[in-house]
Amino acid sequence: MKCKVPSCSKEKRYLNGYCQKHYDQVKRHGKVLKRTIYTPNKFEIIKDICIIYHYDKNCKLKGKSYVDKKFYIKVMKYKWCIDSLGYVNNSKVGRMHKFLFSSPIGEEIDHKNRNKLDNRLLNLRIVSRGQNTINRGNISSNTSGFKGVSWNKRERKWKVYTTKNNKQISLGCFDDYMEAVNHYKKEIVKIHGKYAKFNLKIRRIKCD
């Protein structure tokens, strides 16, 4: 005989028509719970994005997180929670962004838009530990902190430039800050040769 809870697939009844799990639930909570901490997340796929729904122990929606659709098969095998620091976490495999993308030693994976629930590829990048702390906020400055790279508010892009013989030379525009920095480093050597100079440390990243 099946458990009398319609959504339950347990074949064996334990007591009062319930399987053991549901019998214990009714005994403890006075009712059959819709969700428990063991109930898998709800997943929804919209276009290229897989949305993961996180519920608290009272079945209330706690938050939604996002991952690329192509990782659905990989992530749906686990139960994901939002941990105390706001990351998407599973007790066995750890934080989702690290589970999906391993970073080289000494480097970290950073959420570009600072939303830890957004683990889509386009929102993640590999940065050194120092750079990652830079992107954690609290710093108010409009400069990029990197010589030759500045944020253009109107175009909403990182502009790369250098000066030679008192003339400014534009080296291009980028959406991604690290791409702009790397482009600058590459181009500057071509233009200035052995006189090329660039900051070794990037101090500030801020755009609005």
- Residues of the shown chain interacting with Zn ion in the complex, contacts defined by CB under 5 A: 3, 5, 8, 10, 19, 22
Least separation in angstroms between CB 35 and Zn ion: 14
Least separation in angstroms between CB 29 and Zn ion: 14
Quick one: 20 or 91, whose CB is closer to Zn ion? Answer: 20
Quick one: 26 or 76, whose CB is closer to Zn ion? Answer: 26
Neighbours of 37 (CB within 10 A): 10
Least separation in angstroms between CB 17 and Zn ion: 9
Give Cα 105 distance to the centre of its chain: 19
Exposure letters 121-150 (e unless 16+ CB within 10 A, then b): eebbbebbeebbebbeeeeeeeebbbbbbb
The span from the CA of 4 to the CA of 7, in Å, is: 9
Is the separation of the CB atoms in 78 and 92 below 8 Å?
yes
Least separation in angstroms between CB 9 and Zn ion: 8
Least separation in angstroms between CB 3 and Zn ion: 3
CA dist 30 → 62, 135, 165 (Å): 24, 48, 81
Quick one: 16 or 142, whose CB is closer to Zn ion? Answer: 16
**147: nearest Cα among 208, 204, 67, 79:** 204
Quick one: 19 or 88, whose CB is closer to Zn ion? Answer: 19
Tokens of 91: 């007790």
Quick one: 16 or 91, whose CB is closer to Zn ion? Answer: 16
Is the separation of the CB atoms in 123 and 96 below 8 Å?
no
Least separation in angstroms between CB 40 and Zn ion: 16
Give Cα 168 distance to the centre of its chain: 37
Quick one: 34 or 197, whose CB is closer to Zn ion? Answer: 34
